[in-house]
Chains A and B, each alone.
Chain A
Amino acid sequence: MEPIVEMIGIRKEFPGIVANDDVNLQLLKGEIHAVLGENGAGKSTLMSILFGLYQPEAGRILVRGREVRIQNPNVANDLKIGMVHQHFKLVHNFTVTENIILGLEPMVGLGALDTKKAAARIREMSTRYGLNVDPDARIEEITVGMQQRVEILKMLYRNAEILIFDEPTSVLTPQEIHELMGILKGLVREGRSILLITHKLKEIKEVADRCTVLRRGRVVGTVTVADTTEARMAEMMVGRKVSFAVDKAPAKPGAVTLEIRNLSVMGNRKVLGLRDFSLEVRKGEIVGVAGVDGNGQAELVEALTGMRRAESGQVLLNGTDITADSVRQRIRKGIAHIPEDRHKHGLVLDYSLEDNMILELYDQPPFARRGLLDREAIRPYAEKILSDFDVRSGKGVDSNARDLSGGNQQKAIVGREIELDPEVLIAVQPTRGLDVGAIEYIHRRLVEQRDGGKAVLLVSLELDEIQNLSDRIAVLFRGERMGLLEASATDENEIGLLMAGVQGKGGAA
C-alpha cells in the first residue's frame, strides 16, 4: 500500500511550549491509523496542522506524493481531507440535510435551494455505510451519536478520502462506540483512510492497523497494533509502567450525608432534564453517576450546588433541607464542587492563582476584614494548596491561572475544593483531559477524601473512572435513574445497557 499522507519533520511551537517537535507520520491508503497520546502530547495540534487550522514552523506535508501547503481548511477540503471534531460543528435548528450541504448549497435557477436532490444522495450514502440517519430530522431532535454520524456524512458528501476523527468516542455509550467501530471498518473497506486520535487503548486494539504514539510533542514510535499489547502502548504513551486500577480498601460507609429525594429539574430546553431522581450518599463512600453526556448530569449537579432551581423534590445535607439555599449558603454548609468545565466555572483565568484559591472564601476571615482583602493571610493559604497538591506554575501563586497547563489547573481546583474540607464533594469529570499521572493523583485524592469519612459524588462520562472509583453506581438515562448498582457486583456491559436506556434489574442495591 502506498502512503496517502506523509508528514515529515513537523514542528509547531506555541508561546512557551513545543507542541510538535520533528514529528513524522505516515498514513497508508486504506488503513486505520491511530494517533495515541496523553492530553498535551500534541495529537490535536498535529491533526489541526493537517487540516489547515495551524501552520507548522518547520516540516513538509505530502498528500498523494505531492508536497502541499495547507493554509486553511478549504485547502484541506480540496485535498479531500475531512475532519470530525471532538465538539461537533452543527447548526442545531437546521435539518441533517441543511447541515450537510452548508457551504455547498445546490441551487436551482436564481438562488432557490434544491434540498431534495441532496437529501436523496444523503439517504443513499447513509444506507450504504449503515449510518441510519434521517436526512429530514432536525439536529436538536437526534442523539449525540447520530449527530456524530451527520458529521461523518458531511465528510463523505464532500468526497473526503482522508478522514480525521478527533476523540470520536468521548460522547458515546459503549454500545454506540461498538457501532462506530463497525462504521470505521466499513469506510476503510471502501478505500478511504482514517486517522483516529484517541487516548483509549481498547478502541485502538479493536479497529486500528497501526498506531503512532506521541509523548510531549515527539513521536515515541509507530507500531503494528496486532503485534503490540495494550500495556506496551500505555507504557509508550506515558513513558513508564502504569497501573490502571485504583488502589483502595473496601468502603466503610457511615450515616447518610447527602440525600436527594424525588428531585426534578428543568433543563435548558424548558423540559425536565432530571426527573424524580433519588439517591443517598453516605459518609465514607464514593457514589458514581454514570451516563452518556446530556442525560441529566448537568441538571443534577447544578441543582445540588444551587446554580439551578429544582422544580420539585428535596436536597438534604445531614438531615437539613438545603433545597432553597443559595450557592453561597451551600458552600458554607459543606458542599464543594469540582466543576466539569474548569475554564468556564472552575477558574477566573485572568486572576492570579492566589486570587483563584480564595474564590469561595475571599470575604471570610482571615482573608478579609471589614471589606478589605488581607493579602498576608491569602498568600500563605494559596501557597499551601499549591504545594500540597503539587500544582506547578511558572511564577508560583502570582501566575495567572490561564498560564497553567490543564492538569495543573485541575489540580489547583481539586486542591481548593478539598481544602474547604467539605461534607460532600461533588466531582464532575474530575480528570477530563488530563494525563495519566495527574489522573492517578486526583483519583488518589478522591479516595483519601472518602477514607477520611467524607461523602463523594462522582459524575463522569468515563466508564472506567466510574468503575474504578465508585463504591456504588447510579446510571442516568434521559434524566431518570435507570438503576443503582454495587460497583463490585456489576460490569461494563450491564452499566452500558442501562446507559442506553435498556431496563435491567433496576433499582437493586
Chain B
Amino acid sequence: MKKPLIRIRDGRSVRLSLFAILLGLLAGAVLILTIGGNPFVSYWHMFRGGLMDLSRIGTALASATNLVLTGLSVAFAFRTGLFNIGAAGQMLAGAMTVTAIGLSIPVGALPRPFVLLLMVLAAGLAGALWGVVPGLLKAKFNVHEVVTCIMMNWIAYNLVSWLIPAYFASNLPSETPLIPKEHLLRTGWMASIFGDNEYINYGFFISLLMMVVVGFILNRTTLGYELKAVGFNRHAAEYAGIRVNRSMVLSMAVSGLLAGLAGATYYAGYANKLVVGTLPAQGFDGIAISLIGANTPTGVFLTALFFGILHTGKGFMNAMTDTPPEIADTIIATIVYFAATSILIERYGKVAAKWWKDRKGRKTPAGTAKGGAD
C-alpha cells in the first residue's frame, strides 16, 4: 500500500479548523452588529470583494501566494519541534536581496529568466541564512529559537533601514525606486487571464511547487523521517542515533528558505519596491496559517487561500458598507485565537455534552463534600 504524496488532514483537525473559522466569523458578526452594521451584508461584500471577478480572484491568489510560503515555513519548523517566529525577518532578508539584485542589474544586461531565477534563489538563500543562525545557536548553545528569531527579525529590520537610504534610495530616502518590470515575477499572460490583474505573478507557481516539495520531504524522505522524529520526540531520536542538532539547523534552514522565497514573491511580484520601517505582516500570519492548517502542506495552502480572500475582500467591504476593514483583521485574529485554543474547545465541548447528559440522567443528589473545581 502506498501512502499518498500529500496527505489530507485527518477528519478531526479539519473539523476543528473549520470550527475555529466559523467561530471567528461569528465573533466578527457580533462586532459588526455592535457598530450598527448588518453582518450578512458586510460578509457578502467581503467575500464578493475577494471572489466576484477574475481580477479579484487574481489578487486573492497573489496575496495567498506569500502566505502559503510563510505558512509552509512556520509549519516545517513546527514539524521538527521548532517555533519559527522569525519568518518576517527571513522574508525581509529575502526582500532586501531581491530588491538589491533587481535594481543593480541593468535591464537587458542578462536574459530575463536568468535574472528572475537568480533573484528567487538568492532570496531563498538569504532567508535560509537568517533561519540558520537561530538553528545554530539552539544547537550549539541551547538558546531558545523564539528569542533569537525575534532578534533576527529586528536585525533584518534595521539592516534594511540602513541599506536603503545608504545604497538604494529613490527620491525618498525611506524607499527604493520601483524595480523595473522586467525584473519582477509578474507576467503578461497571467495578468491577462485574471483580467489585467497587476499582482498575480510567477510566485503562485513557486508556492504550489513548495507545497508539493514540503509534502514530499516530510512524507517520503529519510530526511523527513528524521526531522519529524526529532519534532515528536527528540529523546527517542537521540536514542536512535539521529543527529538532533543537525536536524534542527537543517530544519531552520529549510524554514528560512521558504520564508525568504516569500520575500521574493511579495517584494518582486505582489509589490515592486521596498520601504523601510516595516516587518512584513505575512511572516506573522504564517504562524496562524500553519496553526489552522494543522502544520500540513495542503492545510496551509487552503488556509492561505482563505486568508488571501479575506485580505482582498476587506477593502471592498469597507467601500460598500460602513464596516471598517479592521473587522477583517479582527476576524483573522479571532480565528487564530480559536484555533490556538481548539484543544480547549474540544475538551469543553465534551464536558458540556457530559454535563447535559448527566443533568438529564442524574437521580442521586450531589455529595456532601464541599469545595469544587476552580
Contact = CB atoms under 8 A, between A and B. Distances in A.
A375 interface: yes
Contacts of B229: 348, 351, 359
Interface string A291-323: 000000000000001110000000000000000
Given A371-B221, A371-B222, A345 B369 contact: no
Given A351-B229, A372-B220, A66 B368 contact: yes
A140 interface: no
A360 B238 CA distance: 10
B241 A360 contact: yes
A306 B240 CA distance: 10
Q: Main secondary structure on chain A at its contact with chain B?
A: mixed
A68 B369 contact: yes
A78 B241 contact: no
B260 to A, nearest CB: 23
Nearest to A329: B241
Contact of A346 (B232, B236, B367): B236
Interface stretch (A69-77, A123-131, A441-449, A460-468): A69-77
Interface residues of B, number: 31
Given A348-B233, A349-B232, A373-B220, A359 B369 contact: no
A359 B240 contact: yes
B232 A350 contact: yes
Contacts of A363: 222, 225-226
A68 B233 contact: no
B373 interface: yes
A229 B146 CA distance: 60
B241 A69 contact: no
A79 B367 CA distance: 13
Given A66-B368, A68-B369, A69-B367, A327 B220 contact: no
B237 interface: yes
A349 B228 CA distance: 12
B172 interface: no
B232 A328 contact: no
A345 B370 contact: no
Contacts of A70: 369
B372 interface: yes
B109 interface: no
A261 interface: no
A326 B242 CA distance: 10
A115 B364 CA distance: 45
A360 B240 contact: yes
A327 B226 CA distance: 15
A32 interface: no
Given A359-B240, A373-B225, A75 B369 contact: yes
Contacts of B367: 67-69
Contacts of B372: 71-72
Given A349-B233, A355-B225, A362-B225, A328 B371 contact: no
A362 B222 contact: yes
A328 B233 CA distance: 17
A240 B255 CA distance: 57
A344 interface: yes
Interface string A335-349: 001010000111111
A346 B239 contact: yes
Contacts, number: 96
A337 B3 CA distance: 30
A279 interface: no
Q: Main secondary structure on chain B at its contact with chain A?
A: loop
B214 to A, nearest CB: 15
A379 interface: yes
Contact of A79 (B221, B233, B241, B369): B369
Which of A71, A72, A79 gathers most chain B CB within 10 Å? A71
B225 A71 contact: no
A368 interface: yes
Contact of A327 (B2, B225, B228, B241): B241
Interface residues of A, number: 42
B220 A344 contact: no
Interface in B321-374: 364, 366-373
B1 interface: yes
A331 interface: yes
Which of A66, A70, A329, A372 gathers most chain B CB within 10 Å? A372
Interface string B153-192: 0000000000000000000000000000000000000000
Nearest to B223: A371
Interface in B1-55: 1-3
A363 B232 CA distance: 18
Contacts of A362: 222, 225-226
Which of A69, A72, A348, A350 gathers most chain B CB within 10 Å? A348
Interface string A350-384: 11000100011011000010011101000100000
B239 A75 contact: no
A351 B218 CA distance: 13
A75 B366 CA distance: 14
A307 B222 CA distance: 22
Contact of B222 (A66, A339, A372): A372
Contacts of A337: 239
Interface string B208-223: 0000000000001111
Interface in A66-105: 66-72, 74-75, 78-79
A282 B258 CA distance: 53
B112 interface: no
B235 interface: yes
A348 B223 contact: no
Nearest to A347: B236
Contact of A75 (B2, B240, B370): B370
Contacts of A375: 1-3
A248 B198 CA distance: 81
Contacts of A373: 220-222, 225
B235 A326 contact: no
A66 to B, nearest CB: 6
Contacts of A78: 369-371
A486 B302 CA distance: 66
A331 B239 CA distance: 10
Nearest to A331: B241
A72 B372 CA distance: 7
Given A344-B235, A344-B236, A345-B235, A372 B369 contact: no
Contacts of B3: 375
Contacts of B242: 328
Contacts of A355: 225
A338 B368 CA distance: 49
Contacts of A359: 229, 236, 239-240
Interface of A: 60, 66-72, 74-75, 78-79, 305-307, 326-331, 337, 339, 344-351, 355, 359-360, 362-363, 368, 371-373, 375, 379
30 contacts: A69-B367, A70-B369, A71-B372, A72-B373, A78-B369, A305-B239, A326-B241, A327-B238, A328-B243, A329-B241, A330-B241, A331-B240, A344-B235, A344-B236, A345-B235, A345-B238, A345-B239, A348-B236, A351-B229, A359-B239, A359-B240, A363-B225, A371-B221, A371-B223, A372-B221, A372-B222, A373-B220, A373-B222, A373-B225, A375-B1
Given A78-B370, A307-B239, A371-B222, 14 more contacts: A67-B368, A69-B369, A72-B371, A75-B370, A78-B371, A305-B239, A307-B238, A327-B241, A328-B242, A330-B241, A359-B229, A363-B225, A373-B222, A375-B2
